[in-house]
């Protein structure tokens, strides 16, 4: 069930703004985490495309740990 807000009350307006910001941040984080990025492998120094997290380099098979600082 959706939350109800009385936007005429300052406290409800603040709660509504916090909830909207939280939802927007969650959606932005999900979008950033679900795409691939072009990076340089720290082991073989060749350009590769990987998703955030720990994945093997498709060329040298060494582990690449892509961490995104989004906060």
Phi/psi at 23 (5° precision): -65, -45
Domain presence at residue 37:
yes
CB 60 within 8 A of CB 41: yes
pLDDT in tens, 14-67: 999 999 999 999 999 999 999 999 999 999 999 999 999 999 999 999 999 999
Domain presence at residue 51:
yes
* pLDDT-derived band at 5, boundaries 50, 70, 90: confident
> How many domains does the chain fold into?
1
Burial, 18: exposed, middle or buried (Cβ in 10 Å; 0-12, 13-18, 19+)?
exposed
Q: How far apart are CA 39 and CA 35, in angstroms?
A: 13
Q: How far apart are CA 24 and CA 68, in angstroms?
A: 18
Q: What range defines the domain where residue 47 resides?
A: 10-66
């Amino acid at each position: 069930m959706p939350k109800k807000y009385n936007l005429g009350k300052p406290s409800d307006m603040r709660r509504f703004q916090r909830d909207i910001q939280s939802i927007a941040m969650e959606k932005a984080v999900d979008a950033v985490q679900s795409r691939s990025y072009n990076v340089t492998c720290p082991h073989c120094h060749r350009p590769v495309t990987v998703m955030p997290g720990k994945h093997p380099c498709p060329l040298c098979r060494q582990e690449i740990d892509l961490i995104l600082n989004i906060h």
